[in-house]
Amino acid sequence: HWYGGPGMYQQRWPVNNGSGVMQPYVTNDFRIRDFPPDTPSENFTAYGNVADRFFFSSKGVAIVVDDVTPLHVSINQSADGKLCFMANYTSDYPNPGGRRPVLKYTVCSGRNALDIHEHMYSRFYQRLNAVPDTRMLEYPVWSTYAQYGPNISQSTVGEFAFQIFDYNLTGSNILIDDSWEGKYGDLTFNTSAFEFPDASKLIGYLHQKGLSVSLWATPFINTDSAAFRESVENGYLVRTDPNNPTLDTPVPALVRWWRGVAGLLDVTNPEARRWYLSRLHFLRENLTVDSFNFDAGEARYFPDIPYYTHEPLVNPSTYSSKWVEMVSSLGVQTAVRT
């Protein structure tokens, strides 16, 4: 039996009890919400938003595939229980230097599954230095999207909290989900009279009801936002390939997501990370927001054209890891869907 590997829509344990066709081993979103907004395109055969290159077996054998490998994986594709690897440069793996694909991996063996897992984890991964806030595991997170979808305002969020309190329900926090921003990427409340005219007052009310407050955020910065102009001027976004002969200067490599057209935050750029986090800290300090719930960040959302990041991404899924690493600095109440 094999364990580890990718998240899958039909998750099986061990993983070879499920199946996956040979495909690029990059982080994906099962439910691709495409243009126009809210038009779903589902790809439930793709691997999901966890694509760890670590596999281990019940016989005490483990495999870690190196990041330099343009990895493709199949799992039980022919109902034979086999785990198959292939190195191949396709559109999902950038290869500006024209490198030949190499399947580079490490195989180790131990006494049993537990023994080899402990050995490989200590050799290839860092130990966790914190645990999530246990309240997030013990009590519900009340999401406005589950109740109202994107149609939220100060009054609907307040009414939601009142209902939770009125029914004597418990909760760890209330998540003000999609549509709280005036423009996606600005990370500021829509302060119009019909949306969130006084966000500080709302958050104070939610705190009075005993609920911590979490805000939804993504790495997307829409082209109609003020943050887009600022991030372009400072080089904070993933850009087009500077070696592209059809362009005089690199420009933001725009992507499509379920809320429009956007630039994608370059999480490999230390200055871009500082800029993004500083705006979240501003919400904490000035509006007493307690935590954040982060969405997206999968390699699937990279542009279809050659792109450039501050640090080259040999393995596109490294973007997901760096995104999670960046936002995890915000504390133990942080939640990430990636």
User: What's the pLDDT tens digit per position in 183-242?
Assistant: 999 999 998 867 899 999 999 999 999 899 999 999 999 999 999 999 999 999 999 876
Question: What is the rounded average pLDDT of the residues 285-290?
Answer: 95
Say which residue the tokens 């390699």 belong to: 299
Distance CA 222, CA 202 (A): 26
Helix (H, G, I), strand (E, B) or coil at 331: coil
Say which residue the tokens 């300090």 belong to: 285
Element (H, E) at 161: helix 154-166
Residue 274 has pLDDT above 90, yes or no: yes
Q: What is the pLDDT of residue 39?
A: 44
- Residue 84's nearest CA partner among 4, 174, 21 is 21
Distance CA 226, CA 228 (A): 5
Element (H, E) at 4: strand 2-8
Element (H, E) at 144: helix 144-148
> 73-87, 141-155, 244-258 — which is least confidently predicted?
244-258
- Single-letter code of the amino acid located at 7: G
- All residues at 6 or more sequence positions from 172 whose CB lies less than 8 Å from its CB, including other chains: 133, 135, 136, 138, 139, 140, 141, 212
Which residues face 260 on adjacent strands?
257
Q: What is the pLDDT of residue 250?
A: 65
Q: What is the pLDDT of residue 42?
A: 54
- Burial class of residue 256, CB neighbours in 10 A (0-12, 13-18, 19+): middle
Residue 18 has pLDDT above 60, yes or no: yes
Q: Could you give the residue ranges of the DSSP H alpha helices within 213-327?
A: 226-234, 270-287, 318-327
pTM reported for the whole predicted model? 0.89
Distance CA 192, CA 108 (A): 59
Band (91; pLDDT cuts 50, 70, 90): confident
Instruction: Give the angle 172-173-179 at the CA atoms, nearest 5°.
Output: 155
Q: What is the pLDDT of residue 243?
A: 65
* pLDDT per residue as tens digits for the range 67-86: 999 999 998 888 888 889 99
Residue 147 has pLDDT above 70, yes or no: yes
What is the radius of gyration, based on Cα positions, of the chain? 22
Distance CA 268, CA 277 (A): 13
277: left (phi over 0), alpha (psi -120 to 50) or beta: alpha
Number of H helices, E strands in the chain: 8, 19
- All residues at 6 or more sequence positions from 181 whose CB lies less than 8 Å from its CB, including other chains: 187, 188, 189, 190
Is residue 113 within 8 Å of 57, Cβ to Cβ? yes
Q: What is the pLDDT of residue 157?
A: 96
Say which residue the tokens 């956007």 belong to: 262
Distance CA 278, CA 227 (A): 13
Determine how many CB atoms are found less than 10 A away from the CB of residue 246. 6
Residue 163 has pLDDT above 60, yes or no: yes
